Amino acid sequence: MAYLDANATEPLRPEARAALLAALDLMGNPASVHAAGRAARRVLEDARTAIAARFGARVENVVFTSGGTEANTLAIAGLSAARRVIIGATEHDAVRAAAPRTEILPVDADGTADLDALARSLAGPPALVCLMLANNETGTLQPVANAAALCRRHAALLHVDAVQAAGRMETSLAALGANSMALSSHKLGGPKGAGALLLAPGYEVAAVIRGGGQERGRRGGTPALPCIAGFAAAATLPRPDLRPMRDAAEAHAIRCGAVVLGGNHRLSNTTCLALPGVRADTQVIALDLAGVAVSAGAACSSGKVARSHVLDAMGAGALAGEAIRVSLPWNAGWHDVQAFGDAYGAMAARLAKRAA
Amino acid sequence: MRIVAAMSGGVDSSVVAGLLHEAGHEVVGVTLQLYDHGAATGRRGACCAGQDIHDARNVADRLGIPHYVIDAQARFRSAVIDDFADSYAAGQTPVPCVRCNMSVKFTDLLTLARDLGAEAMATGHYVRRVEGVGGPELHRAADPARDQSWFLFATTHDQLAFSRFPLGGMPGKDAVRGHAARLGLAVSAKPDSQDICFVPQGSYADLVARLRPDANEAGDIMSRDGRVLGRHAGVARYTVGQQRALGAASFDAGQRQAVLAVDAGRRRIVVGPRTAGGDRIRLREVNWLIDPPALPICCTVKLRARETPQPAAVVATQGSAAVQLDTPALAAPGQACVFYDGDRVLGGGFIDRE
């Protein structure tokens, strides 16, 4: 099988697996005062230090969570008090669902947020702005540093969903100048079940899950230490350059009739390919039956391929229902590109002809 | 061969997938999401609601076959639900299962199956596909109590050629449940689906009233000679041949009354004795599973889902047909009239207004 759905989840990195397995044997609770607790705490705090260093945050401002959704939820709940919430039109459901009433920041045809519209909106009452660093469906990168500067000028706060960007490009809370940032372990090759919220100095969130006051009172519950150890191990690894393979796969798809959505400023592992006239779910199924794993739109709990709000927001029209996402994992090889090319070519020859 | 199994999550289509898999075919399970199960009630017992989709996935996972959920809501809405409401508002009695088979299942899903390189599509319908000298024929199920051929009259030659109905020869539902239990499928004891899948709690009139408020306005119940016998609460609640819900109009001169006509334009229900039915029926959207006959044919016809076929002569005309019943009967516009030669389905059409 050629696994090309990294933006859904990355294969586990061996180093993360080793760290996870080692931490499984730590019997102590990091909150305990005895030696076993101290041993566990050391692993937890080493992980915190590694995450902080890697993503431009202070150690004391790294809050471990169960994953990206919880990190986004915690940030928005904590930073939106007495503020309007403005979110990009292509944000992930983890952000869209976390704020009940939001203003939507429009995007252009490439999916890039309209910062002029943001500037106009920020002239109003105090706001929390949520902008993703990289989009999960198209890979499109948002001008987050510019948005952060705008927010500072208008005394607005900026929360960055960096779940897809982290581990795939340089990602630093400090360098971006944002107020908070959400991360997910399994999107960067760590185990599923861990994530983090990074806070800029001076910004605080109240716990959504209170419990025993862990994580300095910001997130109750015993931390999932093995997952967090694996998360930190994966986060600190260098990443192979996937761009040549991605570009080759994309070029081949274009020759087969595909249209690339999402502009040129994208994650180097992601391509969003529309095949005019062919339903996205048909493409995903055809490729799956040919042994190539890709995805389309947002997977819902039934497994149904739902129409993409991201591509709709970009004004993709009918193509919004005809696009698949190909996202290369850290361990992709040229044989995967070959398998994708063969399967995509065969599919396009069979289906695009009928659609035409 | 690669074969797409239409899986509703019920016991029938689960057994279809299981039997084909057992026979060594490469089975691809597909479940159609037809409507928003959150908006309906999510109760068990109706097809393709939320729980049913999960049941279908679990069956596929248990069998170890790929399974996909297809969003068919927009098409189901336009081809089935809107037609359902519009028909009632026009004083007719729709058959949504036929419309669903014609559009979502045997057109769209069948096209998907072809697109996926499948050689056939299998469903859990209780009908038999028989290889005849002139190609595949559609026959009634072996179990007359389960036969669904009336609902599949509109299947075209091409669709029939591509379709498989592994349950058509089953002696009864117990046999199907036995297979489900033998295959270890958790749905083996699941209740049969009832009534219309997209109408929660069976109150179809409420759905029609929501979509077409005009069909819910009160009006008169009249005799054939123009006397007002009572009042009704919306034409959508009446079907030709119906005897209940007539209130004061249930009897006229001591004689039990039945609905003879639904005049949606004037919001009138016309009643009379059951014996007042005619012997000629005009059909529209006729589908033939034999070469359209040049001469009138003698066969049996079935005017409702559950009734015994009755003798008649059918005359084919361009796109339509005229039926001459041996014995007069009340035919409800919008319902199907299906032609049989013994067990074989020859064709059928929708009953048109007089």
B19 and B97 in a single domain? The answer is yes
Name the residue of chain A whose CA is nearest to B31's CA.
A304
**Phi, psi angle pair for A328, to nearest 5°:** -80, 135
pLDDT in tens, A29-80: 999 999 999 999 999 999 999 999 999 999 999 999 999 999 999 999 999 9
Name the residue of chain A whose CA is nearest to B70's CA.
A304
Residue B208 lies in a domain: no
Distance of CA B271 to the CA centre of its chain: 26
With contacts defined as CB-CB under 8 Å, which chain A residues touch B70? 281, 304-305
pLDDT in tens, B130-140: 999 989 999 99
| Distance from C-alpha of A108 to C-alpha of A262, rounded to nearest angstrom | 10
Tokens of residue A216, six digits: 């300095």
| Distance from C-alpha of A9 to C-alpha of B236, rounded to nearest angstrom | 51
B269 and B347 in a single domain? The answer is no
Task: Please report, for the domain that includes residue B237, its CATH number.
Answer: 2.30.30
Which of B242, B275, B308 finishes a domain? B275
B299 is catalytic: no
Name the residue of chain A whose CA is nearest to B2's CA.
A289
Helical axes B11-22 vs B173-182, angle rounded to 10° = 60
B59 and B93 in a single domain? The answer is yes
Residue B270 lies in a domain: yes
B232 and B292 in a single domain? The answer is no
| Distance from C-alpha of A110 to C-alpha of A314, rounded to nearest angstrom | 6
Cβ neighbours around A281 below 10 Å, total: 22
Burial of residue B5 (CB within 10 Å: 0-12, 13-18, 19+) is: buried
pLDDT at B354: 72
Helices (H) and strands (E) in chain A, counts: 12, 14
| Distance from C-alpha of A283 to C-alpha of A323, rounded to nearest angstrom | 8
B65 and B16 in a single domain? The answer is yes
pLDDT in tens, A261-279: 999 999 999 999 999 999 9
Q: Is residue B298 within a helix (H) or strand (E), and if so which, with residue range? A: strand B297-302
State the number of CA atoms in the 13 A half-sphere of B38 facing the CB. Answer: 2
Q: Are strands A103-105 and B320-329 parallel, antiparallel or unpaired?
A: unpaired
Residue B15 lies in a domain: yes
B236 and B95 in a single domain? The answer is no
Does A304 sit within 8 Å of B70, measured CB to CB?
Answer: yes
pLDDT in tens, B234-245: 999 999 999 999
The DSSP code for A259 is E
B266 and B310 in a single domain? The answer is no
Percent of chain A with pLDDT over 90: 94
> Which domain does B51 fall in, by range?
2-202
Tokens of residue B197, six digits: 């899948």
Residue B212 lies in a domain: no
Partner B contacted by A306 (CB < 8 A): yes
Partner A contacted by B25 (CB < 8 A): no
Number of domains in chain B: 3
Which of B177, B202, B227 finishes a domain? B202
Residue B210 lies in a domain: no
Partner A contacted by B319 (CB < 8 A): no
Neighbouring-strand partners of residue B300: B311, B340
Name the residue of chain B whose CA is nearest to A279's CA.
B112
SS3 state of residue A314: coil
Instruction: Please state the ipTM of this predicted complex.
Output: 0.87
Neighbouring-strand partners of residue A266: A140
Q: What is the mean pLDDT of residues B346-352?
A: 97
| Distance from C-alpha of A134 to C-alpha of A136, rounded to nearest angstrom | 6
Does B71 sit within 8 Å of A307, measured CB to CB?
Answer: yes
Partner A contacted by B53 (CB < 8 A): yes
Domains within chain A, CATH numbers bracketed: 14-235 (3.40.640.10), 240-355 (3.90.1150.10)
pLDDT at B47 over 60: no
The DSSP code for A287 is H
In sequence order, the 6+-apart residues with CB closer than 8 A to the CB of A299 are A8, A305, A306
Partner B contacted by A318 (CB < 8 A): no
B25 and B164 in a single domain? The answer is yes
**Phi, psi angle pair for B69, to nearest 5°:** -110, 125
Mean pLDDT for all residues in chain B: 92
Neighbouring-strand partners of residue B283: B321, B351
Q: Are A16 and A190 in contact (CB under 8 A)?
A: yes
Residue B209 lies in a domain: no
Task: Say which range, A56-60, A112-116, A179-183, B231-235, has the weakest mean pLDDT.
Answer: B231-235
With contacts defined as CB-CB under 8 Å, which chain A residues touch B115? 282, 286, 350-351, 354
Q: Tell me the shortest Cα–Cα distance from B169 to chain A, in angstroms.
A: 31
pLDDT at B51 over 90: no
Q: Are A323 and A279 in contact (CB under 8 A)?
A: no
- Across the A/B interface, how many CB contacts are shorter than 8 Å? 47
Sheet holding B120-122, edge to edge: B67-71, B26-33, B2-6, B120-122, B163-164
- Dihedral angle of Cα A119, A121, A122, A123, to the nearest 10 degrees: 90
The DSSP code for B275 is G
pLDDT in tens, B75-128: 999 999 999 999 999 999 999 999 999 999 999 999 999 999 999 999 999 999
pLDDT at B48: 38
Task: Please report, for the domain that includes residue B184, its CATH number.
Answer: 3.40.50.620
B175 and B75 in a single domain? The answer is yes
